[in-house]
Every structure is written in structure tokens, then in C-alpha cells.
Amino acid sequence: MTTTPDKGGTVVAPEDKDAQRLLDSFLQDFPIPLGPEDSLPVRLQSPVLSWDEVEGECAEMGLKLLRDRNLPPVLAAALIHTAIAHVLQLDVSIFKNKKEPDQDAEKLVLLEGEPVTRSVFNKLLEVCREWNQELQLLHLPKQYLISSFAVRNTRRKMEDRHVALPEFNALFGMKKLRSGTTGVAALIVDDSLHVAWLGDSQVMMVRQGQVVTLMDPHKPENEKEKERIEDLGGCVVFLGCWRVNGTLAVSRAIGDIDQKPYISGDADSASFQLDGTEDYIVLACDGFFDGVEPSKVVDIVLEHLQENVGNGSTVAETLVAAAKEGGSSDNITVVVVFLRDPQDILKASNLHVGIESTDQNSGCPQARGDSETSTTIHHLNSK
């Protein structure tokens, strides 16, 4: 890599010199800060923002401005992050939406979008001038050559696209990701169902109106999980619910690097044989099962099908609503995969009710499955 001295004798790398030139051009376009009545250089998505939306909205505004001027993405992200971080330290009251003066501070606070964005933009100008004068601040971190390409090919639409975001950490000031997530997956191949899970997200099956247990979620109170954690030197304590080292209420997860090795990243999996009598499977996060017991899913789905004449396209929404009504305050995600036509499930249920009614009238007691009891399914293998 060759270098050239600037007027003061400082050695400057070519890429830094290019960045300085691009910043000069940007500052010439905006020689002074915006006044209270000046228009924003970009259009806002919404005139009113919540405090949680400020970072994303302003980051999008800054990226558009600097990318349009061909600034290196990582440098643009670092400049924007510095400006936003400053504004986030300001007193939120100066940006409050004047149309709602009596907002409860403990609830969602709405802010005037323009003043917030204007403050970020003016701070961005200030940071650009400062960094442009101090060339060492313009030094870009190591960047890797990335070749990325995607094609729709013969498919009707693009469904699987991978992208590279080299500026992600710089934009949000992340040195190391500390968050985590759970996961659950189901794969059907011919007449086999394969499931995998990590954490307390779950997959369950319903077959002929009966709940089928497919897995055991990774929770700290599970005896094997508790033993594993304690063998590693950790502990499981009850603080409102069972928690690993008094923090996370799940014993395995993707990420959560600060809690490794107690929070394991090893997934479990199992495979099952399907015989064609299965109704559907439900994949959901813990927020759903906090509000709905698996045994209640059958009744909720059947009631939905009855009310919608066998149409199951919006049954996931009904299940989410049931979890909220059941007291869940967590995030809720539900996916329902019908393995039989919902119309056939509804017909079979109506037939069962008719037979049961006939048996009761004849005085002949009949054994019937209890929806509170999970049935079994032929198990191929489990890890």
C-alpha cells in the first residue's frame, strides 16, 4: 500500500485521502447546521417517533446521505453511530410531541420526528468536520473482500438471499454481540418428521385430535440440565422462575456468550414416522406456551375451524390472541403446519361428536381419548 504526505507532512493512506475528499464534498453541501425551520435533507418515514425508534430512523437517514456520496460503508456507519450516541444522551423532554403534552413517562413516549432527526444531522455535521480535521480519526478498520451474488433463477420469487453487512458493528457500536436466541425447526421428508430445538421454543403435534409430545424444552428445572450446569460450576436458582446463575430462564441458547458454558449451544433433535393420521404441528416460542397449555391447543384450533368453516389460514393469529388472553406478556410467535386438510379435520371432529352423542343416548358408555393426555408416536431416533 502506498502513502502520500498531506500539507502538514502527515502520511495519509490513499483510502483515507479518498474519504477526506468525500467528506469535504459533503460538508460543502451543508456548510452550516440546520436551523429549527430548515427542511431535512431526507424524508422521514413517520413524523412521530417513539424513543425506541430513534436509533433506527436516524441511522437510515444518515446512511442514505453518506452512501449517496460514496463514503466507505464502515466509515459512514462509525460517523453515524457517534452522532446518534450523542443525541441519545440528551433530555428526551425537549423532543416530546406537543400534541400529547400529558404523556405518561412510564408508557410509550412519542417524540417529534423532525427535531430529533435535525439534532442527529447537525451532530453528524459536527463529527464529520472534527474527523476531517483529525486525519487519524478517519483511519478505517480492516475490511475484508466480500464477493456476494444472488439470482432468482427459475423460481417465481427470491426466497433465500444471504447478505453481508460489514458495517453492522460500527453502526450500532457493537464490539461483541451479547444477546441470544432460542430456536426450533421441523423438516418433513417423505413420511418422516425431523425436529430440532435449542432452548425453550417448542414443536408439538396433534394427531386425530390428541396432543403428541415430540420434545422436552431446555429449561433449567429439567433434572439433566440442572445436573449439567452444576457439574460445570454453575447454579440453578428460583427467582420468580428457575434461572441459570440467577439470570436466564433457559438452559440452552444460540449466543448469550457471557453465559457460556452454562448456557449450552448444543441442540437436540429427534425423528418420527408419520402414518397419515396426523392433523398438524405447531411451532412456537415460550411466550405462546406461557399463556396456552399444549392440551388447550386442540380446542382452540377446532373452535377456529368451526367458526371459519374449515379455513385454517389465520389460525396462528387465533392462537396468538389466546396466549395474550391467557396472560402471556412475552413476545409470541406461532407457526401452524397442517398435515391434513383442515376441512377433513373438522369433518372428523363433527363425526366424533355425532358418534359420542349417539352412544350417550343409547346408554352405552364408550372409552374416548382425554385431550389432557398426550399420546405417543412411533419414534425413529433421538439425540
As given in the structure block, the three cell numbers for residue 214 are 415430540
| Domain end residue (candidates: 263, 282, 316) | 263
- Report yes or no on 177 lying in a domain: no
- Report yes or no on 67 lying in a domain: yes
pLDDT number for residue 367: 34
- Report yes or no on 214 lying in a domain: yes
pLDDT number for residue 381: 41
Q: Is the pLDDT of residue 20 over 90?
A: no
CB 68 within 8 A of CB 26: no
Query: Minimum mean pLDDT among 110-114, 136-140, 146-150, 279-283: which range?
Result: 136-140
**Does residue 247 sit in the same domain as residue 204?**
no
Q: Tens digit of pLDDT for each residue in 292-334?
A: 999 999 999 999 999 999 999 899 999 999 999 999 888 899 9
Q: Is the pLDDT of residue 205 over 70?
A: yes
Query: Minimum mean pLDDT among 64-68, 219-223, 236-240: which range?
Result: 64-68
As given in the structure block, the three cell numbers for residue 249 are 430462564
**Does residue 315 sit in the same domain as residue 201?**
yes
Q: How many CB atoms lie within 10 A of CB 174?
A: 12
Band of pLDDT at residue 200, cut at 50, 70 and 90 = very high
pLDDT number for residue 148: 57
**Does residue 243 sit in the same domain as residue 255?**
yes
177-199 in b/e form (b: 16+ CB < 10 A) is eeebebebebeeeeeebebbbbb
pLDDT number for residue 383: 36
Q: Tens digit of pLDDT for each residue in 67-109?
A: 888 888 878 888 888 888 888 888 777 777 666 555 554 555 6
- Report yes or no on 129 lying in a domain: yes
Q: How many domains does the chain have?
A: 3
**Does residue 17 sit in the same domain as residue 54?**
yes
**Does residue 200 sit in the same domain as residue 243?**
no
Distance CA 120, CA 129 (A): 14
Q: Is the pLDDT of residue 276 over 50?
A: yes
pLDDT number for residue 275: 94
User: CATH number, domain at 337?
Assistant: 3.60.40.10
**Does residue 207 sit in the same domain as residue 337?**
yes
Handedness of CA 221, 223, 227, 228 (dihedral sign): negative
Q: What is the DSSP string of 257-305?
A: GGGTTTSB---EEEEEE--S-EEEEEEE-HHHHTTS-HHHHHHHHHHHH
pLDDT number for residue 232: 96
**Does residue 315 sit in the same domain as residue 287?**
yes
Q: Is the pLDDT of residue 3 over 50?
A: no
Q: How many CB atoms lie within 10 A of CB 377?
A: 19
**Does residue 248 sit in the same domain as residue 291?**
no
Nearest of 273, 110, 258, 134 to residue 205 by alpha carbon: 273
Domain ranges, residue 241: 220-263
- Report yes or no on 151 lying in a domain: no
The torsion defined by the Cα of 286, 291, 294 and 297, in degrees rounded to 10, comes to -120
**Does residue 204 sit in the same domain as residue 86?**
no
- Report yes or no on 55 lying in a domain: yes
| Domain end residue (candidates: 138, 170, 193) | 138
Distance CA 310, CA 380 (A): 32
**Does residue 227 sit in the same domain as residue 334?**
no
Q: Tens digit of pLDDT for each residue in 370-380?
A: 333 333 344 44
Handedness of CA 337, 340, 346, 349 (dihedral sign): negative
- Report yes or no on 118 lying in a domain: yes
Band of pLDDT at residue 262, cut at 50, 70 and 90 = very high
| Domain end residue (candidates: 119, 138, 157) | 138
pLDDT number for residue 10: 42
The whole-model pTM stands at: 0.55
pLDDT number for residue 112: 83
- Report yes or no on 144 lying in a domain: no
Q: What is the DSSP string of 214-250?
A: ------TTSHHHHHHHHHTT--EEESSSEEETTTBS-
SS3 labels along 28-94: HHCCCCCCCCCCCCCCCCCCEEEHHHHHHHHHHHHHHHHHCCCCCHHHHHHHHHHHHHHHCCCCHHH
**Does residue 338 sit in the same domain as residue 191?**
yes
**Does residue 312 sit in the same domain as residue 257?**
no
- The pLDDT of 104-122, averaged and rounded, is 76
Q: Tens digit of pLDDT for each residue in 133-163?
A: 875 555 555 555 555 566 666 667 765 565 6
- The arrangement of strands across the sheet holding 192-198 comes to 183-189, 192-198, 268-273, 379-382
